Structure 1
């Protein structure tokens, strides 16, 4: 099984409920096990339209035998079930699930880039990753160094 880190976020509807439901669905994925979850964080939107509601974010780790493509398809199905609509890039959403990192895979297709191309720029990804694995390297650099570089981003543990 491969180690995977998945980012979770929501800023529409009832974010805590949607994230709990997503976590339940992630825990039930076929050929997967050992779901661990970071603390939850309230964060301001990064990019997209101004005046979005704050996000509720977390990161989970998962062991899976699903390929990156099959995992992405499963994540998008979970998002769709939560009412996710893809109309505005970086716009508000009921649920956002991103593969941040997939063990031993570097990939760049029209559908999926691994590791996630902007994870190292976002405190709402870096801090929960640090909570799960402080020794983890992203793009061959320590998470804490990336986190220090984005220290000005608004993030608050809830």
Structure 2
């Protein structure tokens, strides 16, 4: 089994419900087990800023899938929840990104792990560090908690989460 960390965000419709449904869709799979879910954080959009604020979480999973299969599973969840890709960094029902896959470095046309901009993004690091405070960059060994973005104050706690089960029951 491999441990991977994902970032999940939403800024269209019932944002919290989209996050919960994305985690649920991963957790019901036989090849993925959700180990941890961060609290929910709200942040302003990055890149394309003419859109609603995002809700973001980090999720720790254990999986038998390789990194490419996990990417395909994430894209299936996005598609099932109505993700439409029209504007880069634009509005979306849900967005799932693989942040880390074990201690692997993956560089391919459709997948780069560790996620290449995660160290610059507070909306990624703050939720991630809540569930994995000692996580390090697999190539450099540098603690992500030491990144400047991990200290960013633009990330607001939106809903405290105390475990996977409590999170999955949020929308019920």
Scaled by the length of structure 1, the TM-score of the pair is 0.93
Tell me the residue number matched to 1:12. Answer: 12
Mapping 1:77-88, distance limit 5 Å? 77-88=76-87
Mapping 1:130-141, distance limit 5 Å? 130-138=129-137, 139-141=140-142
Cα distance in 2 for residues equivalent to 1:104 and 1:126: 17
- Tell me how large the CA RMSD over aligned residues is: 1.4
Tell me the residue number matched to 1:125. Answer: 124
CA offset at residue 26 of structure 1? Answer: 1.1
* Conserved? CA contact 1:33–1:63, under 8 Å: yes
Q: Which moved more, 1:84-93 or 1:31-40?
A: 31-40
Tell me the residue number matched to 1:144. Answer: 145
Mapping 1:52-63, distance limit 5 Å? 52-63=51-62
* Conserved? CA contact 1:27–1:35, under 8 Å: no
Which structure 2 segments of 5+ residues have no match?
159-172
C-alpha distance 95-149 of structure 1, shift in aligned 2 (>3 A): closer
Kindly provide the CA deviation profile for residues 81-113 of structure 1, in whole angstroms up to 9, marking residues without a partner as x. Answer: 111011111011100000000003211111100
SS at match of 1:66: coil
SS at match of 1:89: coil
Cα distance in 2 for residues equivalent to 1:92 and 1:149: 22
Which structure 1 segments of 5+ residues have no match?
none
Scaled by the length of structure 2, the TM-score of the pair is 0.86
CA offset at residue 51 of structure 1? Answer: 2.3
Tell me the residue number matched to 2:156. Answer: 156
Is 2:30 the counterpart of 1:30?
A: yes
* Conserved? CA contact 2:81–2:94, under 8 Å: yes
Is 2:21 the counterpart of 1:21?
A: yes
Cα distance in 2 for residues equivalent to 1:140 and 1:34: 25
Paired residues, number: 156
CA offset at residue 13 of structure 1? Answer: 1.0
CA offset at residue 152 of structure 1? Answer: 4.4
CA offset at residue 61 of structure 1? Answer: 0.2
C-alpha distance 89-153 of structure 1, shift in aligned 2 (>3 A): farther
Cα distance in 2 for residues equivalent to 1:123 and 1:152: 6
SS at match of 2:86: coil
Kindly provide the CA deviation profile for residues 108-153 of structure 1, in whole angstroms up to 9, marking residues without a partner as x. Answer: 111100110011110011111110111111242112211x346446
